[in-house]
Amino acid sequence: MIWNELKKPFTILAPMEGVTDVVFRSVVNKAGRPDLFYTEFTNVSSFASERGRHDALERLTVKPTDKPIIAQIWGKNPEHFAILAEELEKLGFSGLDLNFGCPDRHVNKAGGGAAMIRTPDLASECIKQARLHTNLPVSVKTRLGFTSANEYQSWIPFLLNHHLAALTVHLRTRKEMSKVAAHYELIPEIIKMRDEISPETKLVINGDIKDLKMIRELSEKYPEVDGFMIGRGVFQNPYCFTDHEPTKKELLDLFRFHLDQYDKHVSEVEKYPYEPLKHFFKVYINSFDGASDLRVKLMDCKSTNELRKVLNEFEK
């Protein structure tokens, strides 16, 4: 069981829609991988429908270098959780994670993500159905509450009573989005809940964690926490799971690697849009002289070959 194989404190790259796909995971793998990857979230009802299955399967592509990797899934229909859960082991996953934390309005309107905090019976049914249909360990990623941080006092014990393999707590409420500092002050209380209710559940903390150095500091302060998950920190430093401080040249070379992986993926799938690639420019091109001018030039490019040309010009 993957969660028992990871050494404490283990590191995880957070699931991020539009970010942690097969292409970006290979980039992070090259820079220095975390102990565990997660996919972006996949909608269980899309997978269960004939029309959506192809796209859902593409999101669930696993490369050997991604492993071990957890599939993150979301939705509100327990039967659809069952249908997808049944397939994940064959696809190469080491576990599945139910998203009970996404604050997106559309996702919540559809009853998924953080909306589950308000429908605990349904959340319970989704966990049960997923479990009944797979041998893989089932985990949950959630927030402290929907509107008030105090909701964690009942929501976290509720989840722990399901004796999950792992529980990741993003230390904010749905209402707080990512706009306020994560509530680290609640970590000791959450540890206590875990220890009392379900000591076998691995506890993962998430929110504002920047890099490995910070993970070491947090782990020293809270040795009972099993794992730490980094999300946006990877945008500031793709080497965040290592102690390495990359040079400008290394960052530009990593960007070229990203472009190569992008091109490779384009050749393998039906459609993989170019525009979202622009969100990644800042990951590699920041904090050095001329970075913002270079980004402006890159923004005008229309293809990976144009991007490479601009990069080569810059480095001449």
Ligand X SMILES: Cc1cc2nc3c(=O)[nH]c(=O)nc-3n(C[C@H](O)[C@H](O)[C@H](O)COP(=O)(O)O)c2cc1C
Interface with ligand X (CB under 6 A): 14-19, 40-41, 72, 99, 101-102, 141, 170, 178, 206-209, 230-233
**Cβ proximity to ligand X, 80 vs 143, nearer residue:** 143
Cα separation, 105 vs 122, in Å, equals: 19
Give the single-character DSSP code of 199.
Answer: T
Please say which residue, 72 or 219, places its beta carbon nearer to ligand X: 72
Angle between helices 22-32 and 248-268 (to 10 degrees): 150
Using DSSP's 3-state secondary structure scheme, residue 119 falls into coil
Q: Are 78 and 125 in contact (CB under 8 A)?
A: yes
- Cβ nearer to ligand X, comparing 87 with 176: 176
State yes or no: is 102 an active-site residue.
yes
Smallest separation (angstroms) from ligand X to the CB of 72: 5
The answer to whether the Cα torsion of 152, 153, 156, 159 is positive or negative is negative
Other beta carbons within 10 angstroms of residue 18's beta carbon come to 9
Residue 46 or 206: which CB sits closer to ligand X? Answer: 206
Q: From the CB of 6, what's the least distance to ligand X, in Å?
A: 18
Please answer whether residues 207 and 182 qualify as being in contact, where contact means their C-beta atoms are separated by less than 8 angstroms. Answer: yes
Instruction: Provide the minimum distance between the beta carbon of 224 and ligand X in the complex, in angstroms, as a whole number.
Output: 20
We find the least distance from the C-beta atom of residue 215 to ligand X, in angstroms, to be: 11
The catalytic residues are 102
